[in-house]
Amino acid sequence: MLNKNFYLILIISAVFGISFWIGFNVNLLPAEASINAPIYDELFKILFIIGLIIFIGMTIAVIYSLFKFRKRKDQYGDGDGIALEGNLTLEIVWTIIPSIIVLIIGLYSYNIYDRMGGMKELNHSHEMMTSNTEKIWAGISQASNNEVASNNLSVEVSAMQFAFLFNYPKGEFISGELHVPVDRKVSMKMESKDVIHAFWVPEFRIKQDIIPGQPTILNFTPTKVGKYPIICAELCGPYHGGMRASIIVEEESDYKDWFNKNTKTEVSL
């Protein structure tokens, strides 16, 4: 009996060890290119490790059972096995363990979403859009209200079947490509011209729906120079799959060059 328990503990330890090792050493996600990315990836890592423990544990249990409880040559009958009914201890255990796991994941997800700015009070903003009625902006906001005014780069996003357009109010021009300087907070106000779209940049780990009649905001700070895809993540029509744009994160000076090339008015940034 002691021997059996010893092997059981050994196998469970190995399953945990392997899962943690894979969880911390195998990276399935694209580059981390915004300040949101490392926060999000923390949660992903935990979910990945829990998934691995369950997957590897179950696989071992199934393979073990296949051999241990297989039908022997001298066994006859329909193979239904012993008539067993009810095991209160087992039922309590397999109810409590998943409940604890789900509860922890739920609380931890809430914490992550809060750190990403999802729980911040929604802005009531009048500065950017020329709407006459007061609109409530919904969405992820990492900036407090007084932060928005200061050094942020403001961009207005219009989504339509099947394109994104980026309006730079300071420069009075519209671009099909989103250019942003690295390490500076970008505040986007997004409106849809027709149906529901979603603005998704996998490398930034952010996604926000763009909803007709309900403008949304999305704030982020890119941390890595490069070109990343913007993907519409809401099935919005027959060419939804082609609704893509690019975000170009560049050094401040390169961004200024690009901005000045496009701008119609001479303004200092």
Q: Tell me which residues touch Cu ion (CB under 5 A).
A: 197, 232, 236, 243
Closest CA to 142 of 167, 122, 166: 122
In the complex, least distance from residue 241 CB atom to Cu ion, rounded to whole angstroms = 9
In the complex, least distance from residue 252 CB atom to Cu ion, rounded to whole angstroms = 31
In the complex, least distance from residue 207 CB atom to Cu ion, rounded to whole angstroms = 12
Q: Which is nearer to Cu ion, 119 or 235 (CB)?
A: 235
Instruction: Count Cβ atoms below 10 Å from residue 210 Cβ, excluding itself.
Output: 28
Q: Which is nearer to Cu ion, 31 or 163 (CB)?
A: 163
Let me know: does 208 contact 190? Beta carbons within 8 Å.
yes
Longest dimension (CA), the chain: 92
Structure tokens at 64: 């073990």
Q: Is 111 exposed, middle or buried (0-12, 13-18, 19+ CB in 10 A)?
A: middle
Q: Which is nearer to Cu ion, 160 or 225 (CB)?
A: 160
In the complex, least distance from residue 233 CB atom to Cu ion, rounded to whole angstroms = 8
Q: Which is nearer to Cu ion, 48 or 199 (CB)?
A: 199
Let me know: does 244 contact 231? Beta carbons within 8 Å.
yes
In the complex, least distance from residue 173 CB atom to Cu ion, rounded to whole angstroms = 23
Q: Which is nearer to Cu ion, 236 or 247 (CB)?
A: 236
Let me know: does 146 contact 171? Beta carbons within 8 Å.
no
